[in-house]
Structures are given as structure tokens and as C-alpha cells.
Amino acid sequence: MLSASRTFESRRRGVVQFHEHCPQRPYVELTVPDDAQTVTAASFTTVSRDQGWADSKIQSYTWWEVALRRPKGMKSDLGSIQIQHNRVANPELFEATTRWDAQSPDLGYTVWLRSLRPGDVIQLVSKAVYPGWVNIVQEATIKIEYLPVVDDAATVPQPPPAHSIPPSYYRPLEHMDQEIRLLVVKPGRYDEAVHACFAHTSLSGNPSSQQIQFDALSYCWGDSPERVNIALDTNTMGTVPLNISGTVARAIRRLRSPDTPLRIWIDAICINQTDMDERSQQVRIMGTIYSRAPGPQQQGRRNGPGCA
């Protein structure tokens, strides 16, 4: 189910002068909203000029960069991206707009946009370098377009789900074979509903055991009150809603491929949290699980059977 796109913007007005000795502080910031499922586009508008004179008329050494600050405790591997320069040696304020579209092919900023998640702070930073160069800013705006979170299994006729996954959704694991449960996510684009099922594989190395290549994702983003449903196929109950954290749902959307199933182990989903024996056994073999899974970055290259 697709949702209508929403927009959100942050604007600042007020004359500020930046030079190379100024602290690197953003002129304006925008925090990605909590209901953002994926950011589809971003626009940056600036009204600024350089000092209005220069010995060389080739290029202005005053410009703008887009940067990212993640919530406390979370690191970002997304660097700053340079956008528009001021017009060299021109004393008139100049308005410039740069727009990024996440659907644009083979452009560095598309990865930057697709990696954004709620709570991330997008920053527009005014820059200047070399003595005598001054970036004189009057106004700047950050505007994003995004798809809001949707309930993927809203069409499944089931009672409202609880915040925990019902035990009946799980087949017991064979502990002697170090069996684990995997989530097999059907191919799809980011904004399409998530449809999945459970499969099982053994870590024991027993030739008679079913062995599936898979990836693993640690549920380390922190829980939140936000819950969403994905559609889960089962052998006994048909298609049922699987209620999971919104952060995990967004991770699944980012990691799946449009043409290849994603087979992934996620502790918050693949362990029956109501079965104390299973929880204890799965924690003991967690090191083995991660050693067998190269990581989500390899998804789309994993082969194996489908749902069990």
C-alpha cells in the first residue's frame, strides 16, 4: 500500500557572516520527522554572496555544504556534500536552489538520502576559505519530501496485534542441530508492503540438515513505542500480521532487494521471546550466528530455499 508524499521544511532568516576562522556551525537545521518511512527528495535554497571583490574572478571560495548529525550515541558514515558556490566578486545577494531526488541513478547523494532515518538532523553549513573571503548569508531553507510510515498488513482481517509476537507463529527449534529461525522477505521496492515468512536452517554442519545462506542484523537501534505490521505467511493460519518495531521495519525495507529474497536473522523477530529455553539457547550460539552471516550489506547475493 502506497502513501501520499509529505513535505517538511526548516527556514532561517538573518544576516550572518562566515569566514575561515569561524566555528563550523550550521546556519539552519532540519530534523527528519518521526513518521518518515523514507526520504524521497531534499531541496536546499540559499540567499548569500561573497565579499563582493576578488583578485581572481575564476571561482568564489565561499560555498555551502550539506551535513548530517545523528542522535546522541549513533555514528554517521555519511560525509558532507558540497552544493552551490556563491558568484565570484559579486556584491549582490544571490538565491540558488539545489534539489536531490532519491530516484536519480548513479549519483552519490541518492545513497545519502536513502540512508536518512527519523531523528537525523540535516544541516546546511556556510563555508569560506582563505583570508579575505567572507560568506555573507541572508536566508536559507531545507525542505524534504518523504513517504510516511504505513501499516503493511492493514488489509489482513485480524484483531489488533499486541506488541509481542504470538507464540503460535513459531515452530519449535531443534536445539541439538543448532537450528535457527530466519525471516525470508519477498523482493520489493522500499515503498512497497513488506511480505515475509519464516524458514529454518541448521548451524551444526550436519550434512542431513537444511543449510541456508543468510544475513544477520542486530536489533541495536533501540526500541520505541512506534509499531507497524508486516504480512507474514504461515502454514497453519494463512497470512497474519506480524507486529514489529518501526525501526526494524525500516531496516528491512532498506536491506531487501527489488528482485531477490532477503533471508535474514533478526534477534527481536527470529527468537520466540516467550520461550525461555529457546531464548537461552539462542543467546549461547549468537556468536556462531553472526560468524555465519557476512552482514546485511551482502543481501541480494544469498541463495537458498524459501519459506518452511
Express each pLDDT in 200-248 by its tens digit: 998 886 655 556 788 887 654 444 567 788 899 988 888 888 888 878 8
Residue 157 pLDDT > 50:
no
Contact 20, 131 (CB under 8 A): yes
Both 133 and 196 in one domain: the answer is no
* CATH number of the domain where residue 92 is located: 2.60.120
List pLDDT tens digits, range 82-134.
999 999 999 999 999 999 998 876 567 887 888 888 889 999 999 999 988 99
160 lies in a domain? no
Q: How confident is the model at residue 302 (pLDDT cuts 50, 70, 90)?
A: very low
* Among candidate residues 148, 176, 191, the one where a domain is terminated: 148
Residue 156 pLDDT > 50:
no
29 lies in a domain? yes
Both 32 and 138 in one domain: the answer is yes
Contact 61, 160 (CB under 8 A): no
What is the pLDDT, as a whole number, of residue 74? 65
Q: Which residue has the higher pLDDT, 300 or 20?
A: 20
Residue type, 84: Q
Residue 267 region by backbone torsions, left for phi larger than 0, else alpha for psi between -120 and 50, else beta: alpha
Contact 257, 299 (CB under 8 A): yes
Contact 153, 231 (CB under 8 A): yes
Both 214 and 83 in one domain: the answer is no
What is the pLDDT, as a whole number, of residue 180? 92
Residue 39 pLDDT > 50:
yes
Read off the C-alpha cell for 240: 497474519
What is the pLDDT, as a whole number, of residue 162? 42
Give dist(CA 108, CA 115) in Å, integer: 12
Find the domain containing 176 and state its range.
167-298
Q: What angle do CA 277, 266, 206 make, to 5 degrees?
A: 65
Locus of grid cell 524459501: 306
Q: Which residue has the higher pLDDT, 75 or 250?
A: 250
94 lies in a domain? yes
Give dist(CA 188, CA 261) in Å, integer: 9
Residue 136 pLDDT > 70:
yes
86 lies in a domain? yes
Residue 2 pLDDT > 80:
no
